[in-house]
Structure 1
Amino acid sequence: MNYLLMAPQQGAEANPLTSFLPLILIIVVFYFFMIRPQVKRQKELKKFRESLSKGDKVVTTGGIYGKVVEIKDNYLLLQVDDNVKLRVDKSAVVKDMSDVPQQK
């Protein structure tokens, strides 16, 4: 007889693990496909912001392209044009543009 396909007998309790197995599986899938990659991206971005140095070309979250002139604890001084410098919070810097080819 195939005991796995049979319904539990009257008075016998179903295994509680089998009822929580789909929920546990969903949590594991969410972790590997959503939470883990996001944490990895945040670590890479933090490492990038800590490694910024003078002369790096960057882009802010607002889309401002600039060159790092000065670095302080919480902010950067970006040169966006010949006589234009902006003070930007470090958390606003998202990309390093030195690898991108220049368009004219």
Structure 2
Amino acid sequence: MIITPAYAQAAGGAGDGFATLLPLVLIFVVFYFLLIRPQQKRAKNHRAMLGAIRRGDKVVTGGGIMGTVTKVVNEDEVAVEIAEGIKIRVQRGLIASVQPKISPDGKDATSAGTDQNEGSGSGGMLGKLFGGGKK
């Protein structure tokens, strides 16, 4: 009987460290540009919007209550009139949006060239690629 010795397969060479980390780095870069960066941009625009709230602005709170700002109490609170004679105090950070002011000629007086759908999730790179932009 002839027996041939069985040898273990030779171990492969040590892989390149960069080649093994490359997919992980690429995934992080994709997540940054598709998720993190647009969210930071929306947060920055929201902070700027909150800082620009003035008396007479029509606002919508995070809970969906619509009203008119009657008084800026301090840097953290505003008084909002939600019905005639009914005023509530709202934390500035809980204001979801400021409605655009309409001038008498029917045009948007406050944001002539800005995108009002900025925070709706339809913008960003994917929205532009797949037609989620302006209609």
Which amino acid in 1 is paired with 2:89?
R
- CA–CA distance in structure 2, aligned partners of residues 23 and 11 of structure 1: 22
* Offset from partner CA, 1:8-54 (integer Å, 9 cap, x none): x9563221100000000000000000000001000000000000111
Q: Any gaps of 5 or more consecutive residues in structure 2?
A: 1-9, 107-135
Q: 2:79 aligns with which of 77, 82, 97?
A: 77
- CA–CA distance in structure 1, aligned partners of residues 27 and 98 of structure 2: 36
> CA, structure 1 residues 80+11, in 2 after alignment: closer, same or farther (shift >3 Å)?
closer
Which amino acid in 2 is paired with 1:37?
P
Please state how far the C-alpha of 1:98 moved relative to its aligned partner. 2.8
Cα contact 2:57–2:101 (8 A) shared by 1: no
- CA–CA distance in structure 2, aligned partners of residues 88 and 11 of structure 1: 65
TM-score by length of 1: 0.82
Task: Give aligned-pair identity as a percent.
Answer: 34
SS of 2:34 mapped into structure 1 = helix
Which amino acid in 2 is paired with 1:58?
V
SS of 1:87 mapped into structure 2 = strand
Identify the residue that residue 31 of structure 2 maps to in structure 1: 30
SS of 2:75 mapped into structure 1 = coil
When the two structures are aligned, how many residues end up with a matched partner? Answer: 93
Please identify the structure whose Cα radius of gyration is greater.
2
TM-score by length of 2: 0.64
**RMSD, aligned α-carbons:** 1.8
Q: Which structure has the highest strand share of the two?
A: 1
Identify the residue that residue 93 of structure 1 maps to in structure 2: 95
> CA, structure 1 residues 57+12, in 2 after alignment: closer, same or farther (shift >3 Å)?
same
Identify the residue that residue 47 of structure 1 maps to in structure 2: 48
Cα contact 1:58–1:98 (8 A) shared by 2: no
Q: Highest relative contact order (Cα 8 Å, sep 6+), 1 or 2?
A: 1
